[in-house]
Structure 1
Amino acid sequence: MSLDQAPSPKKPIYPVRLAQRLLRNAKDPLGIPERTAKTYRYRRRQFGAARRFLRKEFRWETEWGNRKPDWWRRGFLSRSVTLYQLPDNDPSLYINDVQRYFRTKRMVNPHLQEVLNNKFSFFLLVKNLGLDTDVVDLLGLHTRGHVHPFPQSRRIPVDQFLAEILSERQHIFVKPLHGAEANGVRSMKIADGEYRMDGQPSSIEEMAQWVRDFPRPVLFEAAITQHDSQAYLNPHSTNTIRLLTMPDVTDDHTPFIARASQRIGSVRSGHIDNWTKGGLSANVDLETGKLSAAAQLPEGNDLQWYAEHPDSGARIQGHQVPFWEETKQLVLDAAQRLAFMEYIGWDIIITQDGPVILEANINSGMNVLQVHGPLLADPRAAAYYRARGVV
């Protein structure tokens, strides 16, 4: 046999790969029992979930004395025990952290989740829903060193785009296509002839370099001027409202608002209002639109409540959210048109002319909502979570 006719050598099958192949197929000739294969896969999933749970636990940098390992087996991170004031409140009425991180992601069909996870695709979708509102203006998208401005057909360098758009708009936000907890979000503006990024003096070249260095494509969004009464809560951030919608499975699956939270920026959170960065959360009364006192994600074992803003002294408790009826109607209308999504955390900005949709999330921000009370105390919410296998 010539060299040209010689058979190519077979790739070696390593022991681990062989074991995985056998356990994937319970009818393998070697006769691995189906029950053994299922047990192996179940234990592997359990181990992976436990590892991710502990990773989240230790993302909270705190003293060991603030950790509560006795609650881990009940599904609660140590910080959540303080946040929900357990065991003074009934733990069974709360969506715990295991359910939150590993089960609530099932609410939206996995094949549809990308629509919400990708801010670009969500923008295009909302623009076509025919809602009686505007959405945040999408100004352009950066990839591979250049920006594609919308709705133009050109492709320009980042520094040129930033100079042009800031001259026109004065203030914009830069966001990754995918992301949560405001990671990778930057504020860029020009004020009194000076460029600023996240409130700090900067230059066009420094801002452009940050965009070029970011490892993924980013979107440029117009900054929206919030209503004066919303700016009163904290003028240094855009103070958004998170509303959670889900279908009423006890009736005709019409969407309802399970909880609403007014997020307010602080010195800790900087130019954004994000809860995980140190912003405040006040409950919005669903009937009246008035705010409760606000909480802040605890650094230790004490949960602080603020009737007034801890930095500015602005009154929070009793504050009236403007355009509240219009905000509820907008969100319920949008949720009905996207009923196939079922479970959406909406972020809304209140402007002088009414509510505007900023974005929507599969991640509802469970603890920013449940700090104001357990979601399972609402029979409709409890029925939905049971129907979807969360509890």
Structure 2
Amino acid sequence: MILGISFLDFLKKSKEAKMQSGKTRLKQFIEILNLRKGPGKLSGREYYDYRLFEKRFSSKQQKTFAGTWIRNDVWIFQDPQWCGVGSDKLLSYLVLDALGLPIAPVKAIYGAQRYYPNAEILKSPEDLLTFLRNKENYPFFSKPSAGAFGRNTCYAKSYDESSDSILTTNGKNIRVEDFSSIKLPNELGGFLFQEIIKPHPDLSNCIGERVATARIITMRTENGVRIHRAAFRIPVGNNITDNFNLGSGGNGFSDIDIETGRLGKMHVGLGLSLRALTEHPDTKQSVEGFHLPHWEQVLAVIKQGQESLFGLPAIGWDIAFTETGPVIVEFNTNPGYALLQATGRGFLDEEFRKCFPADPAALRKRYPHIEIGIPSGRKR
């Protein structure tokens, strides 16, 4: 596993890669070895995830791809005093709301001794049961304040009194007693209940009724805020969230043309299973060429956010598109970049390195708070 892939997986994937590209197993192995030692420290699995066996990639292009192993080092320039703001959703909403940036209003908080303006504070299990059995509180979207990857989320449509159940958008009914018995670690900062974000009608017609978000990376440069990458996550099937999850959950994605806000081809899967679709599986509508609503306003919102959060030189924004304008679902201080590299464009390109040099001395000079020399995998 020193190369980040088991021998059996290498045999299986290299065989398929040879069939697709004609590149020999020996050549693939040599490239994996070189990239593991290279600036992106890619694993063998990531070599296949990003289809770097394809002959369209030069050695220089391959080295612009970043692996998970160096994720902490990629974002080392982030001021650790500011990182907690993005990790805690409730805290981030307070900051964004104070800045006048659009968010989904918080209806209630449960499971933590916290306060949020105009939100109902549910202090006990009995308070939670009362909240869940009140039909006026529906619909809502619930999630942990410090959760990730769409875990422990619920899109609740309504309450059914006869069965004492919560009706969800994916057709599943959850008994109120079962919902209220969910136990979350204290460090997750409680459970949030938010008002529903309704997608723009044009977007709903294209990809369905669920909320889909754009992941957009902004960087603060000497010449102002720059948009580095943008991709659009597309829910498919019974998924209630649009999480990518390395292509394993069935959701799709498209690249976004930053200048125009138009979507590229829709893809599903990752690596050897990556495939392009001509239409959304549920709506049968074409995704390619769709113009995301209020795109100019989206750019203005995230640029204002990047300028305001000065301790974070780069931010990953998750933006939803509604009829009245964009809504910030969350922002990330250590965002993953697998989605942004999935269709063949490395994250650590020349433009990125102009802002954030790989050389530790140059990086420290620009960002004095950085603790240079801490190895990959460190804990802040």
Q: Same fold (TM over 0.5)?
A: yes
Q: In structure 2, what is the equivalent of residue 168 of structure 1?
A: 136
Give, in whole Å, the separation in 1 of the partners of 2:121 and 2:199: 31
Q: Is the 8 A contact 1:295 1:371 kept in 2?
A: no
- In the alignment, does 2:62 pair up with 1:85? no
Q: Is the 8 A contact 1:187 1:199 kept in 2?
A: no
> In percent, how many aligned pairs have the same letter?
23
Q: Amino acid of the residue matched to residue 42 of structure 2?
A: F
Q: In structure 1, what is the equivalent of residue 107 of structure 2?
A: 139
Higher relative contact order (CA 8 A, sep 6+): 2
Give, in whole Å, the separation in 2 of the partners of 1:62 and 1:309: 31
Q: Is the 8 A contact 2:213 2:320 kept in 1?
A: yes
Q: Amino acid of the residue matched to residue 227 of structure 2?
A: I
From the superposition, tell whether residues 192 and 155 of structure 1 become closer, same or farther in structure 2 (CA, over 3 Å): closer
Q: Amino acid of the residue matched to residue 266 of structure 1?
A: V
**How far has the Cα of 1:214 moved from its partner?**
3.0
Q: 1:76 aligns with which of 30, 42, 55?
A: 42
Q: In structure 2, what is the equivalent of residue 195 of structure 1?
A: 166
**How far has the Cα of 1:230 moved from its partner?**
1.8
Aligned length: 325
**How far has the Cα of 1:121 moved from its partner?**
0.8
From the superposition, tell whether residues 336 and 221 of structure 1 become closer, same or farther in structure 2 (CA, over 3 Å): same
Give, in whole Å, the separation in 1 of the partners of 2:207 and 2:277: 14
Q: 1:237 aligns with which of 210, 219, 222?
A: 210
Alignment TM-score, normalising by the size of structure 2: 0.75
Pairing 1:363-374 to 2, within 5 Å after superposition: 363-374=334-345
Q: Could you list the per-position Cα deviations for residues 282-333 of structure 1 after superposition, in whole angstroms to 9, with x for gaps in the alignment?
A: 01101111100122233x7232112312343221111111111111111111
Q: 2:234 aligns with which of 261, 264, 278?
A: 264
**How far has the Cα of 1:98 moved from its partner?**
2.4
Q: Is the 8 A contact 1:231 1:239 kept in 2?
A: no
> Which segment is superposed worse, 310-319 or 68-77?
68-77
Q: In structure 1, what is the equivalent of residue 21 of structure 2?
A: none
Q: In structure 1, what is the equivalent of residue 149 of structure 2?
A: 181
**3-state DSSP class of the match of 1:190?**
strand
- In the alignment, does 2:76 pair up with 1:129? no
Q: Is the 8 A contact 2:51 2:344 kept in 1?
A: no
Give, in whole Å, the separation in 1 of the partners of 2:206 and 2:300: 23
- In structure 2, stretches of 5+ residues that fail to align are 15-27, 364-375
Give, in whole Å, the separation in 1 of the partners of 2:121 and 2:132: 17
Q: Amino acid of the residue matched to residue 86 of structure 1?
A: L
From the superposition, tell whether residues 376 and 177 of structure 1 become closer, same or farther in structure 2 (CA, over 3 Å): closer
Give, in whole Å, the separation in 1 of the partners of 2:123 and 2:342: 46
**How far has the Cα of 1:263 moved from its partner?**
0.7
Pairing 1:300-379 to 2, within 5 Å after superposition: 301-376=272-347, 379=350
Q: 2:177 aligns with which of 177, 197, 205?
A: 205
> Which segment is superposed worse, 283-292 or 273-282?
273-282
**How far has the Cα of 1:115 moved from its partner?**
0.7
Q: In structure 2, what is the equivalent of residue 15 of structure 1?
A: none
Q: Is the 8 A contact 1:284 1:291 kept in 2?
A: yes
- In the alignment, does 2:13 pair up with 1:66? yes
**How far has the Cα of 1:346 moved from its partner?**
0.5
Q: Could you list the per-position Cα deviations for residues 151-206 of structure 1 after superposition, in whole angstroms to 9, with x for gaps in the alignment?
A: 35674521111223xx2242212211213222222222217877324530223222
Q: Is the 8 A contact 1:247 1:342 kept in 2?
A: yes
